[in-house]
Amino acid sequence: MELCVISSINPFHSSSTRRLFQSDSLFLSRDGCSLLRFNGRLLKKPIKPLELSCAAKKIGSGGGGVRRSAASTKAAPAVEPSVKEDKLPAELQVKEIPAPNSSVKLSVEVPAVVCEDCYQRVLTEFMKMAKVPGFRPGKRVPENIIVGFVGRPYVLRATVESILKRTLPHAMESVTGKALKDSIQIVSSFPEMEKAYSQLKTLSYEVVVDVVPELKWNPENGYKDMKVVVELGDEIDAKKACERQLRQKYKSLGALKIVTDRGLEVGDLAVIDISATTIDEDGSTGEAIPDAESKGFHFDTEEGNRLLPGFLDSILGIKAGESKSFSLVFPESWKQETLRGQRAQFTVDCKELFYRDLPTLDDSLADKLLPGCTTLKEVEETLTKRCQEMEEEAKEQATDNAILEQIRKMVEVEIPQSLFEEQGRQFYGARLLEIQASGNMKLTEDQLASLSSQKSVNEFLETQRESITNIIKQNLAVGDIFKRENLEFSTDELVKEVENSVTEFKKHKQEYDEERVKDQVQEILEGAKVLEWLKERAEIQYIIR
């Protein structure tokens, strides 16, 4: 059955109607007899991965770049420009009331003459589509007959919807230029609006719309002379990274053999089961620590310093089939805050023990260590060059992250809910895309459907609220600095990056909206210019942790 919208006057573009109605919207079949309804609340934006590929890479001479999400904070026309051509027979009464989280509530009163005009338009639309016995299609049908044929309740609902669709664009004119795109919601109950219109032949409703948030800098202009401390891990040191890579490549050429006559030594690989419980202040056993437990863990003793301090020393000498119990204290720098300073009892069961039978390290291994190389010296030089490039990139990225974190702390802002949800959905979509692309976990259709459910999305938004909020604040701060300091980039840069992104989409046969891609590329270029500007003026200190 082919469907069409009841009202012939539909000034809304599809993207503008997302998340619009909390009530039911009505659709009419071509035969004019049966009406269908759908819940407008389902018109929210679907989960999508970031609509950027090439453009999301590092841009600008600085190399670090900043990734701005697809969630835009730019104001957009709340309604389509064509509404200006649809003049109402009387003026609406619109009262604007500030609301929390950078939003505005509009109380709209629609005069009776406007409601009557919408009612007549609905009847005309029904007459065009309905096949009323005794009347030729498209011809004028007496009001009482067409209403009786379609059904008075359906005509009533269609009229209320027509009033909303026709008057909402005019009501939104007061927030044009500051309303965020796709953030409009009619909060009035549809049944109550139906009831009010049927009794009074007028209509009142309330709309909530998010607006561009206003930033407050504390201190004012504090971003202009920042003192930034950048912490760098020793793992990015080019020399040490080169040594690690060479060692890993060399180890991969050796054969693993079972240890039979001794205990665990540095250089061995052990297959172990780990369990852990907290130790209470009185020395009694507390609760299990799930994050510290592992079955069949392949423990490379040469990487022991990456685990809990003291763990390796506590199990040296253990033999296959043996168990060891010992207590350790999680350091204050531990990633998981709840475990910092916590004393814990560990039990380690050694299942298997291996040593590496390594070949002699000489020039004959060069090509195996790094294809194309003929000497160990060439291998070392090539790896060193790569690691130096990686060190510079890591240093640049760490600098960018430190600057972004510092300006985030300088801004105070109320974040619109629609912006938060949009940003969160972008992150969640990207997370699903990463899982699918990683190859480590292939999701079935049922698993993907479950992860894409509104419940899963909402849980993600709640658990990641702080990180999502922080990213939004960073983006808002970057955008504000770009505007305040009158920064700019060339049109050629924009065109080039948009073309690169579009090429990537076509290459991977992905759908895209070129205008949306352009907006996102523009924000990325803005971010790159802002970071470049900030780094030129900031006092930056690097420390190795």
Q: What is the pLDDT of residues 390-438, one digit of tens each?
A: 999 999 999 999 999 999 999 999 999 999 998 999 888 888 877 777 6
Q: How far is CA 102 from CA 21, 118, 467, in A?
A: 20, 33, 19
Residue 475's pLDDT is: 92
Residue for token pair 């420009």: 81
How sure is the predictor about 441, in pLDDT bands with cuts at 50, 70 and 90? low
Q: What is the pLDDT of residues 292-312, one digit of tens each?
A: 899 999 999 998 777 889 999
How sure is the predictor about 336, in pLDDT bands with cuts at 50, 70 and 90? confident
Residue 210's pLDDT is: 93
Q: What is the pLDDT of residues 250-275, one digit of tens each?
A: 999 999 999 999 999 999 999 999 99
- What stretches of 242-284 adopt beta strand conformation (E)? 255-258, 269-279
Q: Are 521 and 208 in contact (CB under 8 A)?
A: no
User: Which segment, 136-140, 442-446, 473-477, 509-513, is predicted with the most confidence on average?
Assistant: 473-477
Residue 45's pLDDT is: 28
For the chain, give the mean pLDDT.
82
Q: What angle do CA 351, 356, 360 make, to 5 degrees?
A: 175
Residue 67's pLDDT is: 43
Residue 153's pLDDT is: 93
Statement: residue 59 has pLDDT above 70: no
Q: What is the DSSP letter of 486?
A: T
Residue 73's pLDDT is: 61
Statement: residue 372 has pLDDT above 50: yes
How sure is the predictor about 53, in pLDDT bands with cuts at 50, 70 and 90? very low
Residue 197's pLDDT is: 93
Q: For the chain, count helices (H), then strands (E).
A: 14, 17
How sure is the predictor about 50, in pLDDT bands with cuts at 50, 70 and 90? very low
Statement: residue 35 has pLDDT above 60: no
How sure is the predictor about 354, in pLDDT bands with cuts at 50, 70 and 90? very high
Q: Are 502 and 514 in contact (CB under 8 A)?
A: yes
Statement: residue 56 has pLDDT above 70: no
Written as six digits, the tokens of 269 are: 């690989």
Q: Picking from 6-20, 172-186, 218-232, which range would have the lowest pLDDT averaged per residue?
A: 6-20
Residue 393's pLDDT is: 93
Q: What is the pLDDT of residues 69-107, one digit of tens each?
A: 445 566 555 455 555 568 899 999 999 999 999 999 999
Residue 133's pLDDT is: 87
How sure is the predictor about 440, in pLDDT bands with cuts at 50, 70 and 90? low
Q: Are 257 and 354 in contact (CB under 8 A)?
A: yes
Statement: residue 245 has pLDDT above 50: yes
How sure is the predictor about 11, in pLDDT bands with cuts at 50, 70 and 90? very low
Statement: residue 521 has pLDDT above 70: yes
Report the share of the chain in percent with pLDDT over 90.
Answer: 57
Residues 6+ apart with CB under 8 A from 166: 7, 9, 11, 86, 88, 114, 118
Statement: residue 31 has pLDDT above 80: no
Written as six digits, the tokens of 79 are: 């309604």
Question: Closest Cα to residue 382, out of 242, 272, 207, 200?
Answer: 242
Question: Closest Cα to residue 205, out of 233, 170, 164?
Answer: 164
How sure is the predictor about 152, in pLDDT bands with cuts at 50, 70 and 90? very high
Statement: residue 29 has pLDDT above 60: no
